[in-house]
């Protein structure tokens, strides 16, 4: 994927808090529909309550970030 395509892909998502992400996911994780990794991160995508959710884990900073697809983007 080219850099400009990747930028457009991520610009469709908004970051949410860890608490909101975990609440939406619930205790039983849904089946992942997409996953991947880069040099310093890995990500997993889910469909949660009809909306795409992406979870990104950064190896260097040891931080997990939660994103929801912005349906208006």
pLDDT in tens, 1-25: 454 445 455 578 999 999 999 998 8
pLDDT in tens, 24-56: 888 887 888 888 988 899 999 999 888 899 999
Average pLDDT in the 54-72 region? Answer: 92
Query: Is the confidence at residue 73, as pLDDT, over 80?
Result: no
Report whether 51 contacts 69 (CB < 8 A).
yes
- Token pair, residue 32, equals 């992942």
pLDDT at 9: 57
pLDDT at 15: 94
pLDDT at 7: 46
């Amino acid at each position: 994927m080219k850099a400009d395509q990747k930028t457009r892909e991520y610009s469709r998502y908004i970051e949410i808090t860890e608490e909101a992400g975990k609440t939406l996911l619930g205790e039983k994780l849904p089946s992942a529909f997409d996953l991947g990794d880069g040099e310093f991160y890995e990500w997993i995508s889910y469909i949660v309550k009809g909306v795409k959710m992406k979870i990104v884990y950064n190896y260097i900073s040891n931080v997990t970030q939660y994103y929801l697809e912005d349906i208006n983007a």
